[in-house]
Amino acid sequence: MSLAMPIEMGWSMSDREFRELRRIIHACSGIVIGPEKHSMIRARLQKRMQALGFSAMSQYLDLLNGPSGRAERNRFISSLTTNFTSFFREAHHFDLLTETILPSITDDSDGIHIWSAGCSSGQEPYSIAMTILDARPELAAKVKILATDIDATIIDKAKQGIFRPGELSGVGTGCLSRHFTPVAGQTDEHMLRISRRVSRLVTFQQLNLVSEWSLTQHFHVIFCRNVAIYFDQSAQDRLWRKLSLHLRPGGWLLIGHSERVPVIQHDYLQPSGLTAYRKPD
């Protein structure tokens, strides 16, 4: 996600205020903001400061830390999170899903449950659904995909399932014709909507991975890719443990290409391929 730089900023942000913003986003989301991000944070908060009529960062910090600050903290997190994603990203996981994981599932009497944790604008869960519809259509009626993200704004976008041409990289011509339809009434005639056949497999929900989860479901597969890289080590360790507790015996955890579950946790998340881990039976 990128935002245009405003022409002029009429307020300043001290080092102390920057440290407090970093503390708040870490406490709320687990995300670690480095000290080199001072200018980026200030630029991303510019529109929000203008909308609120604030002329000083101290006013915004008072709002975030005040008794009515919960809604604003959600907007704050949304303004700072980077929602980079794409369809069929890290394609080897989708091959693993169809060739190894789905054939190994035997306890599917209540459905095949898949969780896309940190789903951003929806490309990952929709890619999972399209992969199953194309490669294992006989299983589609059993598949239930939960897609979650901390950012309520991006979840609303994901639910719409509408994508610009630039957001469709990685989607082949055949896949476009099978699973997307033009959006009627749009000035941009190239906008496409994911088909109902795909979207009905996916349920979206806001969820903060570092807070308490209300989930009771246990999953056959969890995609949690390129999320933990924004957390410090202790938050990562807690996340891997919590995810393992929401996997069924024999269930799979798929993570990002630069992420690793540490060796000390391999007793409950065993390496099972490239950035893939499996909970012991």
If you write DSSP's letter for every residue of 93-106 in order, what string do you get?
A: HHHHIIIIIHHH--
Mean pLDDT by 10 residues, the chain (281 residues): 44 91 90 88 88 92 89 83 84 97 92 97 97 97 97 93 92 96 73 96 96 93 95 95 97 96 97 97 92
Q: How many residues does the chain have?
A: 281
pLDDT score, position 47: 85
Architecture of domain 92-278: 3-Layer(aba) Sandwich (3.40)
Give the DSSP letter of residue 214.
-
pLDDT score, position 260: 96
Cβ neighbours of 13 (radius 10 Å): 21
Sequence-separated (6 or more) residues with CB below 8 Å from residue 95: none
Contact 22, 33 (CB under 8 A): yes
Annotated active-site residue 156? The verdict is no
**116-141 burial, b if ≥16 CB within 10 A, otherwise e?**
bbbbbbbbbbbbbbbbbbeebeebbe
**Catalytic pick among 22, 42, 89, 149:** 149
**Catalytic pick among 22, 42, 44, 225:** 44
- Judged by DSSP in three states, 54 sits in coil
pTM of the model: 0.86
pLDDT score, position 77: 82
Architecture of domain 15-80: Orthogonal Bundle (1.10)
| In the chain, ranges of CATH 3.40.50.150 domains | 92-278
pLDDT score, position 7: 37
| In the chain, ranges of CATH 1.10.155.10 domains | 15-80
Cα 250 from Cα 279, distance rounded (Å): 5
In 142-259, the DSSP E strands lie at 143-149, 162-163, 180-182, 192-194, 202-206, 219-224, 247-255
Cα 44 from Cα 67, distance rounded (Å): 24
pLDDT score, position 240: 98
Annotated active-site residue 44? The verdict is yes
Helix 57-65 vs helix 15-29: crossing angle, to nearest 10? 30
Q: Exposure of 54 by Cβ count < 10 A (0-12 exposed, 13-18 middle, 19+ buried)?
A: middle
